Copies of this chain bind each other. A is one copy, B any other.
Amino acid sequence: MIRVLLADDQHLVRGALAALLSMEPDIEIAAEVGRGDEVVDAVRDKDVDVAVLDIEMPGLDGIAVTAILREQVPSCRVLVVTTFGRPGYLRRAMAAGASGFMVKDSPAERLADAIRRIHSGLRVVDPSLAAESLAAGDSPLTERERDVLVAARDGGTVADIARMLSLSEGTVRNYLSAAISKTRARTRAEAARIATEHGWL
């Protein structure tokens, strides 16, 4: 029996995935959690073989959880399942040590299959997404440029961002300018949108 943990903040989706997987004879739901920071303890307590993690979660995001899990419980393999097929997500998930990456609009039958492959030591990656990830390339943004874009995402003014990051307004404008240029956008809002869509934030 493959012992699986499900981590997804949407209770209904989590329960539905549990129902889907419980129909497989060789898979057993060992644990279900709704927050990223509950995963590691649950994996240890329940002796989990494969952890199925969403990325968008309260507490800790799935990628951070993956990194911690690889370090502290290396026997447990990780499958990241996410709503958004952002190229950067795939890259970061694999870099953090995930064994597989799926988007939520892939066929339902494939989930159990992916879990079996991962459990047997293989890697599972959505092929079309892998191609897109290679084409899109890595994030061109520096850490600070990323910070500024994140702070700009919810629509504050330069002064707000400067206060938020304890920077001078001129510096913020410079970082924004650099980020706009690197994303080939024309406004900060467009830059934030493009960076988000690429999974760079």
Q: How many angstroms between the C-alpha atoms of A190 and B189 in the bound complex?
A: 10
Residues in chain B near residue A104, CB distance under 8 A: 10-13
A68 at the A/B interface (Cβ < 8 Å)? no
Q: How many residues of A contact B (CB 8 A)?
A: 40
A19-B19, A155-B187 as given contacts; A105 in contact with B12, CB under 8 Å? yes
Q: Are B190 and A107 interface neighbours, CB within 8 A? A: no
| Closest residue of B by beta carbon distance from A81 | B12
Q: Are B155 and A10 interface neighbours, CB within 8 A? A: no
Residues in chain B near residue A190, CB distance under 8 A: 154-156
| Closest residue of B by beta carbon distance from A189 | B155
A157-B186, A193-B154 as given contacts; A23 in contact with B19, CB under 8 Å? yes
Q: How many angstroms between the C-alpha atoms of A21 and B16 in the bound complex?
A: 8
Q: How many angstroms between the C-alpha atoms of A157 and B180 in the bound complex?
A: 13
| Closest residue of B by beta carbon distance from A192 | B155
| Closest residue of B by beta carbon distance from A14 | B108
Q: How many angstroms between the C-alpha atoms of A108 and B14 in the bound complex?
A: 8
A150 at the A/B interface (Cβ < 8 Å)? no
* Contact code string A163-175 (vs B, CB < 8 Å = 1, else 0): 0000000000000
| Closest residue of B by beta carbon distance from A197 | B154
Q: Which single member of B20, B110, B152 contacts A16 (CB below 8 Å)?
A: B20
A83 at the A/B interface (Cβ < 8 Å)? yes
Q: Which parts of A5-40 form the interface with B (CB within 8 Å)?
A: 9-20, 23, 34
Q: Which 6 A-B pairs have CB atoms at the shortest separation, nearest pair first?
A: A15-B108, A155-B190, A155-B189, A16-B16, A19-B20, A10-B104
A residues near B (Cβ < 8 Å) are 9-20, 23, 34, 81, 83, 102-111, 152, 154-157, 185-193
Can you report 5 residue pairs joining A to B where beta carbons are below 8 Å apart? Answer: A12-B103, A12-B108, A16-B108, A154-B193, A155-B185
